[in-house]
Amino acid sequence: MPRRSFVCRCEDVTLSEVDHAIALGLHEVEELKRYTGLGTGPCQGKECISALVKLLIDKGLADPETVQPFTARPPTEPVTLGALAAGLAPDAGDGS
Amino acid sequence: MIGNTKAQAMGRRDAPLPDRVDVAIIGGGIMGLATAYHLSKNSTLRIAVIERSYLVSGASGRNGGGLRMQWGDEGNVTLMMQSIEMCRGLAQELGINLWFRQGGYLFVARSEAGERRLMRNASLHRDVGAPTRLMTGAEAREIVPQLDTDQVRLAAFNPHDGVVFPWPFVWGYAGQAVARGVVVRTHTPVQRIEVLGDGLRLHLGTGEQLDADRVLNATGAWSIELNRALGIELPNHPHRHEIMSSEPLKPFLDPLVVDLATGLYFSQSTRGEIVAGITMPDTGPAATEVDLGSSRRFLAHLGHALTQVMLITSQLRVLRQWAGPYDVSPDGDAIVGPSPGVPRLYQVCGFTGHGFMMAPAVGKIVADLLSTGKHHPMLDRWDPSRFARGTSRRREDMIIG
């Protein structure tokens, strides 16, 4: 194995950082996300969540039958503020 | 304290609980953990923190991470001056990167009423020594060149205000508390509080019991159910507040900007993301339960307001949106102290959306109260009994969101 392996390439979270968090007693995907920052970058976890879950299963910390990814947040893919602003319905007011 | 203790754990679902502690803290958010940290530093009290989910699962992990001393009331300004001062050395103290950046807060007013508020505040801030300065729209544009200031009548800037990344605050307090002997038990709900002759008994979702001389209800917007089951009727209620975060950009935006005309606020975190929220038109009666749903309506309002005042954000991509609860107190003041009728149960609730920024100072204030009885002046106005006594008074009009 190379000296540094990245689990989350968006946020530069390495395998050793995840191992460190697990050693601190953090064993769930939601808390590992919030301790390491994994899955909070441009891809929003689409790439790293599987790697993280496999790590947890291999260590016996997650049950492959029941383990869930962290909560998916909208939007499904990045959307510009300009496009979102254009979607403001005329009757929705101006936010003031 | 000389040197820092290296964190060995952050709280565990299998942390062994003693039968009895001096202080049991319900809620592993920043309020409960900052209090536990200060108690463990300055007293020999036995302490346990009980969190029903994971740490950072509540409002402490959902807020925008802004810290400001620009408030409309002397007590809040002074408190936040203390809190920000404490934050300056906190990363070293807690041994964790808090991404704390003092880029200031820039308030802009586009109405006469807003202008009057900023003038009144600046005078108050000068009296208590907060370095807020008033400026024209043109001067504000020197701080944020991309900001549309055409209709701005007045702006106020305080360079000591700033932003943090909220998550590591909670981990930092937790790690240091555990290193000093605090038991932090996660994934364990408190189902019921029983009043004993000499303390309180927590009945836990795991079937365990934990007795304590005194208990803190530090569950914020989730506090109502536990209180009501004991006959404690307090008027705080949860209010859903949405927020969003963008793709990361190179640093270009120094302050957190608040537009008083719309309640829009936005900042750039040290991670590079634009983090933004806005006051939404009310959507019906006050909620009694926490609602964490996200809406497209919010993104449309936010997108409209933000692109109006920062045209360059039109091409900025939103990566994610989420919601968190404000724990709204009807007079805007927190609810801290012994509960009416159950004096061994202390409330640390009702912070109305600004609990995170106040927590570094409040954790110390509450720890001092519990360990030495020292009574910080803010505890008078935060007294949970003020509502029943009829002495509640609104002092603060700078609550954003």
For residue B270, the model assigns a pLDDT of 87
Q: Is the pLDDT assigned to residue A57 strictly greater than 70?
A: yes
Substitution target from B294, B314, B321, B400 for chain A, most A beta carbons within 10 A: B314
**CA B265 – CA B279 distance, rounded (Å):** 9
Q: Find, among B317, B161, B299, B302, the residue nearest to B249 by Cα.
A: B317
Tokens of B80: 């936040």
Compute the average pLDDT of residues B366-379: 97
**CA B191 – CA B207 distance, rounded (Å):** 10
For residue A90, the model assigns a pLDDT of 52
Chain A residues touching residue B313 (CB < 8 angstroms): 81-82
Interface contact A73-B279, CB threshold 8 A: no
Give tens-digit pLDDT for B282-299: 767 778 889 999 999 999
Percent of chain B with pLDDT strictly greater than 90 = 92
Q: Is the pLDDT assigned to residue B117 strictly greater than 90?
A: yes
| Pair B248, B233: CB distance under 8 Å | no
Interface contact A88-B322, CB threshold 8 A: no
Compute the average pLDDT of residues B301-314: 97
For residue A89, the model assigns a pLDDT of 56
For residue B8, the model assigns a pLDDT of 79
Half-sphere exposure of B391 (CA within 13 A, CB side): 8
**CA B7 – CA B216 distance, rounded (Å):** 24
pLDDT tier at B221, thresholds 50, 70, 90: very high
Q: Closest approach of chain A CAs to the CA of B75, in angstroms?
A: 29
Tokens of B390: 């009829």
Q: How far is CA B279 from the centre of its chain?
A: 17
Q: Is the pLDDT assigned to residue A92 strictly greater than 70?
A: no
- B120 Cβ under 8 Å from any chain A Cβ: no
Residue range A6-89, CATH number: 1.10.10
Element (H, E) at B179: helix B166-179
Interface contact B54-A30, CB threshold 8 A: yes
- A41 Cβ under 8 Å from any chain B Cβ: yes
Q: Find, among B162, B41, B35, B159, the residue nearest to B98 by Cα.
A: B162
Calculate the alpha carbon distances from B98 to B171, B198, B227, B337, B361 in Å.
10, 40, 33, 29, 16
Q: Is the pLDDT assigned to residue B274 strictly greater than 80?
A: yes
- H helices then E strands: how many in chain A? 4, 3
Compute the average pLDDT of residues B328-337: 97
SS3 call for B224: helix
A37: nearest CA partner in chain B: B167
CB atoms under 10 Å from CB of B96, counted, come to: 22
For residue B217, the model assigns a pLDDT of 98
SS3 call for B305: helix
Residue range B100-160+240-325, CATH number: 3.30.9.10
- B146 Cβ under 8 Å from any chain A Cβ: no
Give tens-digit pLDDT for B126-150: 999 999 999 999 999 999 999 999 9
- A28 Cβ under 8 Å from any chain B Cβ: yes
Q: Closest approach of chain A CAs to the CA of B33, in angstroms?
A: 16
Which B-chain residues 167-226 have CB contacts (< 8 A) with chain A? 167, 171, 175, 186
pLDDT tier at B9, thresholds 50, 70, 90: confident
Interface contact A24-B8, CB threshold 8 A: yes
Q: How far is CA B111 from the centre of its chain?
A: 28
ipTM confidence: 0.89
Share the mean pLDDT of chain B: 95
* Residue for token pair 């006959």: B231
SS3 call for B159: coil
For residue B91, the model assigns a pLDDT of 95
Q: Find, among B297, B289, B359, the residue nearest to B327 by Cα.
A: B289
- A92 Cβ under 8 Å from any chain B Cβ: yes
